[in-house]
Structure 1
Amino acid sequence: MGGSGPGYRAREHRAWKLAQQYYLIYREPSPTAQLGQRVAFVIQEYIHSGDVCPFGVSLRICGWNEGRPYLLRSDPSGAYFAEKATAVGKNYVNGKTFLKKRHNEDLGLKNATHTAILTLKESFEGQMTEDNIEIGICNEGGFRTLPSTEVKDPWLP
């Protein structure tokens, strides 16, 4: 998430509602790409109806469908894109550049976690510890956030 807290919560709430509506109708989780498209469409409707960009946040949606991971970026404009690795927030351009250099399809969980921490370290202000960062894992089992006890890296104090 990047942008204002209230704008993020509004988009997150809308995404949850869309996912729940899909589940109530089809009795299965919403495909990630379809959820991303529907969330972006809501923003586009607001913009086209009144030339207003109401939420002012960039949102990432991740999921697992058809045997592979999906990562979608939805911008404040309502545009959405599929990505393999991305960064958000202050200095996100540097983070994305760093990830493009290091990302490959064969990264294991340990190496991917290490790469994520190195990416954060590029623009982190203050001391970065396992208590002030979060790492999320999305796989065929679902999404989970690593507890701080599992966020181990030689770059952390």
Structure 2
Amino acid sequence: MGDSQYSLTTFSPSGKLVQIEHALTAVGSAQISLGIKAANGVVIATEKKLPSILVDETSVQKIQALTPNIGVVYSGMGPDFRVLVRKSRKQAQQYYRLYKVFLKIHLVYSTFLFQCLKLYLSHSLSEKLPLLCRSSHSLGTGVRPFGVSLLIAGYDDNGPQLYQVDPSGSYFSWKASAMGKNVSNAKTFLEKRYTEDMELDDAIHTAILTLKEGYEGQISSNNIEIGIIRSDREFKVLSPAEIKDFLEEVE
């Protein structure tokens, strides 16, 4: 029996959860996205290659605000991303209705079971990512994990925060990270350029240069997206005019 014949919850003889491997392959073949944590904020950026010149670029948004103080970008399958954004926004709104404050990047879990500091939203997303996308058919129910990796940016009392969540449900805090096609080259470039005392404007320049490294063609304000959050704790997606200004500074 080949590895491909094993279900989501069954380990193959080679020690793999094959459906998770397929989801990671979908992420690895997608357009690149990256995030950089600066001294005074976080920047997330992504390619936005359209399938046709006839597609209205304003209808494609790969960077979304989950709350006023948290933003997210993805690599992978767009429909899966939209499902997770919708679920996360609903959860964040429920939190706001209960506590009358916007969801913070970090929450302390103070229950009888355990006390530890975790990224609330990433933790919740990490529980949702391996959940099953169900589709009824004559033979039963088909299942698969969500085919996206996410970079989540925010700002809290501990400063800027950047987390990456993978299809397996695992999540890690990063100073800078990338996902998608040519991820190895992108991470190598970030390792060379990143410094602890980097300011947000420098991080934006570095993000643009990283996207340029593996981009086929000419980078423009219409084929990339950039989102930032500063110490004012308000997430913002840069307009094409603002991105154009940063592109001119890089050149």
| TM-score category, normalised to shorter length | 0.7 to 0.9
Give runs of aligned pairs for residues 4-15 of structure 1, distance below 5 A: 4-15=77-88
Shift of residue 41, structure 1, vs aligned partner:
1.5
Match of 2:236 in 1: 144
Indicate whether 1:132 and 2:205 are aligned. Answer: no
Q: Distance in 2 between matches of 1:88 and 1:2?
A: 7
Determine helix, strand or coil for the equivalent of 1:134.
Answer: strand
Indicate whether 1:153 and 2:247 are aligned. Answer: yes
Q: Distance in 2 between matches of 1:150 and 1:109?
A: 14
Residues 60 and 73 of structure 1 are in contact (CA less than 8 Å); yes or no, is this contact kept in structure 2? yes
Determine helix, strand or coil for the equivalent of 1:86.
Answer: strand
Match of 2:76 in 1: 3
Q: Distance in 2 between matches of 1:118 and 1:3?
A: 22
Give runs of aligned pairs for residues 71-82 of structure 1, distance below 5 A: 71-82=162-173
Q: Distance in 1 between matches of 2:248 and 2:83?
A: 37
Give runs of aligned pairs for residues 104-115 of structure 1, distance below 5 A: 104-115=195-206
Q: Distance in 1 between matches of 2:76 and 2:131?
A: 20
Residues 95 and 103 of structure 2 are in contact (CA less than 8 Å); yes or no, is this contact kept in structure 1? yes
Q: Distance in 2 between matches of 1:125 and 1:45?
A: 35
Q: Distance in 2 between matches of 1:120 and 1:44?
A: 29
Give runs of aligned pairs for residues 43-54 of structure 1, distance below 5 A: 43-46=129-132, 52-54=143-145
Indicate whether 1:89 and 2:159 are aligned. Answer: no
Q: How many residues align?
A: 155
Letter of the structure 1 residue corresponding to residue 185 of structure 2: N
TM-score for both structures, normalised by structure 2:
0.56
Shift of residue 128, structure 1, vs aligned partner:
0.7
Residues 58 and 88 of structure 1 are in contact (CA less than 8 Å); yes or no, is this contact kept in structure 2? yes
Shift of residue 64, structure 1, vs aligned partner:
0.8
**Unaligned segments of structure 1, at least 5 residues:** none
Letter of the structure 1 residue corresponding to residue 125 of structure 2: V
Q: 1:42 aligns with which of 128, 138, 146?
A: 128
| Bigger strand fraction | 2
- Equivalent pairs: percent with the same residue? 43
TM-score for both structures, normalised by structure 1:
0.87
- 1:86-141 deviation digits (Å, cap 9, x = unpaired): 11221122212211221122212321111011100111122111222111111232
Letter of the structure 2 residue corresponding to residue 85 of structure 1: A
Q: Distance in 2 between matches of 1:93 and 1:138?
A: 26
Stretches (4+) displaced over 3 A = 44-47, 50-53, 154-157
**Unaligned segments of structure 2, at least 5 residues:** 1-73, 106-118, 134-140
User: Alpha carbon RMSD of aligned pairs, Å?
Assistant: 2.2
